[in-house]
Amino acid sequence: MVQEIIASGCCKLGKNEYLRASSKNCRTHVGLSRISTSDAHGENSPYFAGWKVYDQDPYDSVKNPSGVIQMGLAENQVSFDLLEEWLCGHFKDSNWQSYMSNFRENALFQDYHGLQVFRQVMASFMEEVRGGRVKFDPERIVLTAGATAANELLIFSIADPGEALLVPTPYYPGFDRDIKWRTGAKIVPVRCKSSNHFEITREALECAYREAGKMNINVKGILITNPSNPLGITISKSVLEEILDFAIEKNIHLISDEIYSGSVFHPSEFTSVAEILSSRGYRDSERVHIVYSLSKDLGLPGFRVGVLCSYNNRVVETCRKMSSFSLVSSQTQGLLAAMLSDSKFRKSYIETNRKRLRERHELFVDGLKAAGIDCLKGNAGLFCWINLSPLLKKPTLEGEIGLWNSLVYEGKLNVSPGSSCHCSEPGWFRVCFANMSHQTLKVALGRIQSFVEKQKRTRSSSRSSSCF
């Protein structure tokens, strides 16, 4: 059972080897650091536990057709062929030749500022993803090994251990690791509700701020994801304005994680916080920081390319120094600089990727509707926020985990329960649709429909039995 895996603390080492993090198996009691003994990483949450179940029994249409389908991983594989085509077609072009001719220089490059040409290209790519409505200064860009490192560096720069960030719920489960684990910072949840489609309100922000005060916790900032993970929706311009005004009034920071900004189905529906700053003449901009990555929009999580763009000079300076602990390989920078310098490819990729994600989303939502499942109306991202509360035996956290357990072991579908995203309303789940082939998605939808029908029959049978 999934609960047993969570409790065991198993971490896969090899094909059939496991490290059990249980003190009763330790023969010695040598003292360890706070980080080593902390549970703040969040690895024991259902979000990560489901991955372990999948790793033990992964679906393969030929080798293991009854295996678990991974729908808990937000990867973008729908446009990977475009990257492969570019690599094959441009292997000998001028950009690639230039990259190869500078092999020695790149191989010996260790400056934590990163390659200047790559920072310039990243600034241009970020501008294009946002429809050319904003400008980014390459000198304000700090390169990191993924968005995880970018968020952590920001926390180290703006908060001391014990201080906190306000984070609207539901939020990406990895934030518990990124924000809290090594920094010692805290998260104070901003409770958002399904009754208004989980929109962030001034009232919810004020409530969370007051709660922090009651606990004598000093709030240093707000962290938002736009578009939202796990909701798959963008934050409206008016709400962004309100969030920024709140940050200014409380004299705190605002971190806008925009790693899905290029995965908005219709670009006009996305507003970056950078646009708000520009419209205000960059007043109070020193409190605003933007995080970006190539893991989602370009589908390259393994390349570990993250970007931190801060409007605070001291934060840029501090994060750049600290980035020496999470550098991006100069070879990776060189290769991607060559690829993203190709303006024709860049434009085509962004447009095609948006179109494919939109079509994949529509296909998935139609399949959910056919199974009788409602979901939050989304306009971005690689996932849907679906409502399975009608299938809960009890409208509780235990009821949600029980249903998730059935989904994983009976339905053979690894999805993320809302509780792992700190959603306060039981029955919501994040389900990813872009990390698999079209054929595998059809198999997954078939399993979802069969699972729902079985659950309804079981509940109907239980009600009938209770009448006698």
Q: Which residues are catalytic?
A: 172, 257, 259, 296
The residue among 49, 25, 78, 69 whose CA lies nearest residue 381 is 78
The residue among 278, 261, 306 whose CA lies nearest residue 144 is 306
The residue among 337, 306, 424 whose CA lies nearest residue 121 is 337
* Pairing of β 69-70 and β 413-414: parallel
Are residues 332 and 303 in contact, defined by beta-carbon separation less than 8 angstroms?
yes
Report the C-alpha gap between 29 and 107 in whole angstroms. Answer: 43
Sign of the torsion angle spanned by Cα atoms 339, 341, 345, 346: positive
From first CA to last CA, the distance across the chain in angstroms is 32
The first and second tokens of residue 293, run together, are 């990555």
Own/partner long-range contacts of 44-47 (Cβ < 8 Å, ≥24 apart): 44/6, 44/7, 44/9, 45/6, 45/173, 45/176, 45/420, 46/2, 46/6, 46/401, 46/404, 46/416, 46/417, 46/419, 46/420, 47/72, 47/173, 47/174, 47/416, 47/417, 47/420, 47/421
Are residues 209 and 166 in contact, defined by beta-carbon separation less than 8 angstroms?
yes
Are residues 26 and 428 in contact, defined by beta-carbon separation less than 8 angstroms?
no
User: How long is the chain?
Assistant: 468
Are residues 209 and 250 in contact, defined by beta-carbon separation less than 8 angstroms?
yes
